[in-house]
Amino acid sequence: MLNIIVVVGYLLLQLVTVVNGLQLTSTTDKDSICNVAKYIANGELNYYEGLKYGGVVGMFAPPNYWWNAGEAFGGLLDYFTFCEPTNDTLKELIFDGMYHQAGAGYNYIPSNQSMTEGNDDQGVWGMAIMQAVERNFTDPPEHSWLSMTQAVYNTMNSRWDTSYCDGGLRWQIFTWNSGYDYKNSIANGCLFHLAARLARYLGNDTYVETAEKVWDWMYGVGFMVHTQQGFVLYDGADISTNCTDITKYQWSYTYGIMMAGCAYLYDFTNDDIWLERTQELVDTSNFFFNNSIMTEMQCAPSNKCNNDQRSFRSLFARCLGLTNVLVNSTDITSQIEHWLDVSSVAAAQSCSGGSDGVTCGFNWSVQGWDGVYGLGEQQSALETVLSLLTEMPLSAKTGGVSQSEVNAGLNTQDTINRNVISISTKDKAGAGVLTAVVLAIILAGGVWMIL
Ligand SMILES: *[C@@H]1O[C@H](CO)[C@@H](O)[C@H](O)[C@H]1NC(C)=O
Ligand SMILES: *[C@@H]1O[C@H](CO)[C@@H](O)[C@H](O)[C@H]1NC(C)=O
Ligand SMILES: *[C@@H]1O[C@H](CO)[C@@H](O)[C@H](O)[C@H]1NC(C)=O
Ligand SMILES: *[C@@H]1O[C@H](CO)[C@@H](O)[C@H](O)[C@H]1NC(C)=O
Ligand SMILES: *[C@@H]1O[C@H](CO)[C@@H](O)[C@H](O)[C@H]1NC(C)=O
Ligand SMILES: *[C@@H]1O[C@H](CO)[C@@H](O)[C@H](O)[C@H]1NC(C)=O
Ligand SMILES: *[C@@H]1O[C@H](CO)[C@@H](O)[C@H](O)[C@H]1NC(C)=O
Ligand SMILES: *[C@@H]1O[C@H](CO)[C@@H](O)[C@H](O)[C@H]1NC(C)=O
């Protein structure tokens, strides 16, 4: 009898644990936050391929693409910095993963990814390594994280394309990838964001000029629209219409990346225009909250979010955290802190699924796990919880030690990069021929490997 009571009691306890998921008992106590974050980070690392036999260092399991890894490392780096700064095993995992994917030109255009990589993908990796700079993460001896971020920035900026829509970056880098004829807010937002961070970190106004160029273009072309609520950000448009036929989807990460970019610029320039723009992007970000719970509104209500879209809230949350520490206006911080408090508790309690009982879900309005799981769910929950702990990013003035190299990335010698640079700077008429040549090189390489 006693045994039965014990067993029943045990089962009830299990049930309670499962129903409750991870309980974030305090949104201010670091130990309690890190305690929850540890479960979520460990769940995320289940998808990491770099430690598995035959796995590629720096990559996560399919269906996750290369860019998802860039997104993941940004969150893991914050987790390491805020919660486990003395864990050398974790440090090595992050260091090796991020460095291995730098590519032969140390600009995050690895030749393996030439069939998938777009400007936004390179930009998201740029955000991860810029975070390494701002968190004083140990630099590789030959190439500092800062010089590699500058290489990402320089190569992206050199692709600025005035032949259609009066400017802007295309979505894709390579002519042969579909989306090469599309210009969008996320690719351009990444350039804006990186320019803002480099400006602040280095105290260099040239990057502010680039950020202004991107902002003005996005506004001028109508990707960003000024409404009564503030700035609304749309997805993008095809060059065949000279960017006039705009796809009016809205994504949380685009808002986050633009908002945090404005916050970095405000912190550096002290110019009120950037404070106003931050405020207006915070106001319109209200779209992504349902009863203050972060929700990918474009696709979640209809249950149509794809694998990428299920991860967007990770970057959104990270950027809310950064905005919160960079801008000291209480109008902004009280709003952001409220969203993060409510969303982090909701995200944590969704982590009650899977065989481990702590797998995170997608719909955080459900009391418990909704049965959806993946890298995107882990990332989004992790970064939302961690955004409660965001610290002020370092700059060169406040103790950052990463070495600057202003022209990094612009003189690379390897085949892929030479072609990328020449597509962007030489006449576009040659692009078709170049495509054929590069494809021939890749195919020849493939045939050679098979033989
Ligand atoms: C250090 O990090 C690794 C990888 O996340 C983890 O497996 C290990 O448990 C951590 N060590 C400690 C002491 O927490
Ligand atoms: C490129 O792919 C090869 C074969 O899968 C792999 O061994 C290598 O580590 C990859 N390199 C990078 C940077 O991903
Ligand atoms: C294309 O769009 C840009 C920016 O909106 C505009 O300045 C330019 O005049 C347009 N060009 C044509 C040919 O319509
Ligand atoms: C998310 O969960 C809430 C609360 O259970 C529910 O009302 C809503 O319909 C869910 N959304 C989707 C798309 O299932
Ligand atoms: C906010 O930051 C600005 C610029 O750093 C500073 O001048 C101002 O005193 C700060 N305001 C508050 C309320 O802390
Ligand atoms: C917002 O949350 C409420 C309560 O959980 C739910 O009924 C509703 O369906 C949600 N709305 C959207 C658009 O997700
Ligand atoms: C950054 O790291 C270096 C060692 O690599 C250290 O000397 C320096 O004090 C650190 N700076 C800060 C602000 O933590
Ligand atoms: C500022 O950045 C620009 C763009 O990378 C660079 O050309 C310039 O040399 C930098 N200025 C200083 C003083 O480092």
Could you say which ligand is closest to the alpha carbon of residue 275?
Answer: 5
Any ligand 8 atom below 6 A from CB of 204: yes
Please list every protein residue whose CB sits less than 6 Å from any atom of ligand 3: 165-166, 220-221, 242
Output the residue whose Cα is nearest ligand 4's atom 11: 301
Cα of 328 from ligand 5 centre, angstroms: 6
Any ligand 7 atom below 6 A from CB of 401: yes
Q: Check whether 11 has a pLDDT greater than 70.
A: no
Look at residues 259, 265, 260, 261 and name the one whose alpha carbon lies nearest to residue 200: 265
Could you say which ligand is closest to the alpha carbon of residue 300?
Answer: 4
What is the per-residue pLDDT for 410?
85
- What confidence tens digit (pLDDT) does each residue in 145-161 have? 999 999 999 999 999 99
- What confidence tens digit (pLDDT) does each residue in 352-367 have? 999 999 999 999 999 9
Q: Which residue has the higher pLDDT, 415 or 207?
A: 207
Could you say which ligand is closest to the alpha carbon of residue 111?
Answer: 2
CA angle at residue 121 from 370 to 303, to 5 degrees? 25
Contact by Cβ (8 Å): 353, 279 = no
Mean pLDDT rounded to a whole number for the chain: 91
Spell out the long-range contacts of 214-221 with Cβ–Cβ below 8 A and sequence spacing 24 or more: 214/168, 214/188, 214/189, 215/277, 217/166, 217/167, 217/168, 217/188, 218/168, 218/185, 218/188, 218/189, 218/192, 220/166, 221/165, 221/166, 221/167, 221/168, 221/183
Q: Candidates 304, 366, 377: which one to mutate for ligand 4, based on the most atoms within 8 Å of Cβ? A: 366
Confidence of residue 20 (pLDDT cuts 50, 70, 90): low
The CA–CA distances, whole Å, from 83 to 80, 90, 385, 412 equal 6, 11, 12, 37
Residues 6+ apart with CB under 8 A from 135: 77, 78, 81, 393, 394
Instruction: Judge residue 117's burial from the number of C-beta atoms within 10 Å of its C-beta, 0-12 exposed, 13-18 middle, 19 or more buried.
Output: buried
Any ligand 1 atom below 6 A from CB of 36: no
Cα of 120 from ligand 8 centre, angstroms: 23
Fold assignment, 4-442: Glycosyltransferase (1.50.10)
Provide the residue ranges of all domains of the chain, joining segments of one domain with +: 4-442
Confidence of residue 423 (pLDDT cuts 50, 70, 90): confident
Three-state SS for 138? coil
Could you say which ligand is closest to the alpha carbon of residue 202?
Answer: 8
Ligand 1: nearest atom to the Cα of 88: 1
Q: Render 388-450 in DSSP notation, one character per residue.
A: GG--PPP-GGGT--PPP-TTTTTT--SHHHHHHHHHHHS-GGGHHHHHHHHHHHHHHHHHHHH
Any ligand 1 atom below 6 A from CB of 87: yes
Cα of 258 from ligand 8 centre, angstroms: 23
